Amino acid sequence: MREQGIASADRQEADQQFEAALRPRRLDDFTGQPKLKENLAIAIAAARRRGEAMDHVLLFGPPGLGKTTLAHIIAAELGVDIDLTSGPVIQKKLDLTGMLSNVRDKQVFFVDEIHRLLPDVEEMFYSALEDFRVDIIVGQGPGARTHSLPIPRFTAIGATTRMGMISAPMRGRFGLLLRLNHYGVAELQKIVARSASLLNITVDPAGAEEIARRARGTPRIANRLLRRVRDYAEVRGHGSIDHDTAREGLKVFGVDAKGLDKVDRAILQALCERFGGGPCGLSTLAISVGEPTETVEDVYEPFLIQQGLLMRTPRGRVATPAAWQHLGLLVPPSAPFNTATNDAPSLFS
């Protein structure tokens, strides 16, 4: 048990190092997200021209799309330092006071998982974001006093996978709200080619495209698949990755033609085979595949929705005809969205 824990901690660290090595450092190296990049480039140029701290930025979107990467890029483009922390790490108001009183003029202060800040810490963060002040308590007991201490103007960057959990007052304090969307195949193919050249892996365009097509719209997954296919190519093939090597390698690792992994397929199977296609509540679905509800909602569901395999309705999750097809099943007459019986409208009533 303990050894297993250590092994997985090791692997996590190796994964983190691998990711850090592949991180683009400048906005020009960051592939995709054209609108977001344009907004960001303007904000960065304006801040630089004025010689001021840039507006606070809130980055949101599913895991692995580049939020942390962008935070580092913003700091690099602004030519300032970056301090990193994350919502669950800040346990007390005093922790935040300590961090903020060390902030230097115009620098970036990155708060990952900002939706997980404790309520009283969050409230204190508001005045730092808005008025650039922190409250400190001087003295003890009945004589203790609160002083409001000015801090330098800085740029806060918040990142979250759960925009729905960000309170309105928090959201309102960020000048730039930037959403990251899933990437297209051509963009992911470019990312795979770039990573391959950084890692000295030979991959031809068709091989890169095959990996890109199965990466669930996510650069992190594209990079991980590349690494696994490289292993496969070294053991089974001649070391370089072409279309066939990519396809065979991905098959061995349980990634199917649409890029769905085992958990994706388990979700669709549960929905279609056990719950007749739905509607089925999210938590029931999560339990039936043995994953935390939050993971299903943040990681798996957005991709399945984007692929047109699953829908959210007021009554629960529903499998689309494409989901049945993908599993190689016939759409039963009783299934929601079966056009023959056509009881779909009732779902929305």
Ligand X SMILES: Nc1ncnc2c1ncn2[C@@H]1O[C@H](COP(=O)(O)OP(=O)(O)OP(=O)(O)O)[C@@H](O)[C@H]1O
Is 220 in the active site? yes
Is 67 in the active site? yes
- Those residues whose C-beta lies under 8 Å from the C-beta of residue 60, and which sit 6 or more positions away, are 67, 159, 160, 161, 162, 163, 166, 177, 178, 179, 180
Number of residues this chain uses to bind ligand X (CB under 6 A): 19
Closest distance to Mg ion from the beta carbon of 159 (Å): 6
**Scanning residues 18 to 37, which ones bind ligand X (CB under 6 A)?**
19, 22-24, 30-32
Q: Are the CB atoms for 59 and 175 separated by under 8 Å?
A: no
Residue nearest to ligand X (CB): 66
CB atoms within 10 A of CB 248: 15
The Cα 204–Cα 221 span in angstroms is 19
Closest distance to ligand X from the beta carbon of 159 (Å): 6
Closest distance to ligand X from the beta carbon of 177 (Å): 15
Is 69 in the active site? no
- Burial class of residue 170, CB neighbours in 10 A (0-12, 13-18, 19+): buried
Collapse the DSSP code of 189 into the 3-class scheme (helix H, G, I; strand E, B; otherwise coil) and give the result. Answer: helix
Closest distance to Mg ion from the beta carbon of 15 (Å): 12
When asked if residue 68 is in the footprint of Mg ion (CB under 5 A), the reply is yes
Q: Are the CB atoms for 33 and 66 separated by under 8 Å?
A: yes
For the chain, report the end-to-end CA distance as a whole number of angstroms. 50
Q: Of 194 and 315, which has the nearer Cβ to ligand X?
A: 194
When asked if residue 191 is in the footprint of ligand X (CB under 6 A), the reply is yes
Number of residues this chain uses to bind Mg ion (CB under 5 A): 2
When asked if residue 158 is in the footprint of ligand X (CB under 6 A), the reply is no
Q: Of 217 and 316, which has the nearer Cβ to ligand X?
A: 217
Q: Are the CB atoms for 115 and 166 separated by under 8 Å?
A: yes
When asked if residue 65 is in the footprint of ligand X (CB under 6 A), the reply is yes
Chain residues that interact with ligand X, rule: CB under 6 A: 19, 22-24, 30-32, 63-69, 161, 191, 219-220, 223
Q: Catalytic residue positions?
A: 67-68, 112, 161, 220
Chain residues that interact with Mg ion, rule: CB under 5 A: 67-68
